[in-house]
Amino acid sequence: MPQLTFRQRAEDDLRDIFLYIAEGAPSRTLPFIASIKSVCEKYASFPHLGRSRPELHPKIRSFPFANYVIFYVSLNDGIEVVRVLNGAMDIEDLM
């Protein structure tokens, strides 16, 4: 089974997303976070599927999910999620 890990910054991002969604639609928070983790599991099986992001770092890749962009690095047997950012944010500044 492919490995999926989240760096602390990515965990913090997920917490912030959870809190933001909970303000307006509390019943949607857990399913949305679960959906993010589910799509990350799929990318862990195909780690080179995401877009290469050499402008951010030679090893960073990304893929979109809803209004967010998920940034990760490939591992030998999966992926490590680095950040989960809203696509409207200044991504280069935050990375």
For residue 84, the tally of other CB atoms under 10 A from its CB is: 23
pTM for the full predicted model? 0.90
Q: How far apart are CA 81 and CA 26, in angstroms?
A: 25
Q: How far apart are CA 42 and CA 23, in angstroms?
A: 29
pLDDT in tens, 15-46: 999 999 999 999 999 999 999 999 999 999 99
CATH number of the domain where residue 31 is located: 3.30.2310.20
Number of domains in the chain: 1
**The domain containing residue 10 runs over which residues?**
3-94
